Amino acid sequence: MDREFFDNAFDKAKNAFEVAYKKTGEVVNTEKIKFNITSLKSKKDKLFAKLGKEYYNDIKNGNTGNYVEIFDEIEEINEKIEELSNEIDYAKNKKFCPSCGKAIDESAVFCSFCGAKVIFDSSKSENNEEV
Ligand SMILES: [Zn+2]
């Protein structure tokens, strides 16, 4: 058995897999979060419209409405949007472990969760395409 040959071949395959995984993982992750933010924003727009409509009807009919529920819902959505925005910022500065898939520091060489070796992809800072 040529142990060394096997290890080298395995490492090469693993390295290719790591880079590919990292790139796909990042795209899927942030795109999904962005999609969630967009749907939350449209939900918020609907709540604003609902709030305005109810307010208008109440004023028109001389009623005092209770808008706390709508307010709370909007506040909740605002919080969720902020959370998701933070997640995007977080994901931007992170890379994902090819072994366990957890987010780890961009500069990390080994995964702090499972200990797998992580290839540092510096292409991000060098991809200023010249036109
Ligand atoms: Zn890991």
3-state secondary structure of 96: strand
pTM for this model (two decimals): 0.54
Asked if residue 81 is part of any domain, the answer here is yes
Phi and psi based region of residue 101 (left: phi greater than 0; alpha: psi -120 to 50; beta: remaining): left
For residue 104, the CA-to-ligand 1 centroid distance in Å is 8
3-state secondary structure of 117: strand
For residue 7, the CA-to-ligand 1 centroid distance in Å is 20
pLDDT in tens, 35-44: 999 999 999 9
For residue 119, the CA-to-ligand 1 centroid distance in Å is 12
Asked if residue 89 is part of any domain, the answer here is yes
The one-character DSSP state at 109 is S
Domain region containing 65: 3-122
Asked if residue 74 is part of any domain, the answer here is yes
Looking at the 3D structure of the chain, how many domains does it have? 1
Distance between CA 47 and CA 39 in Å, rounded? 12
Asked if residue 131 is part of any domain, the answer here is no
Using the predicted structure, report yes or no on whether residue 119 has a pLDDT greater than 80: no
For residue 128, the CA-to-ligand 1 centroid distance in Å is 30
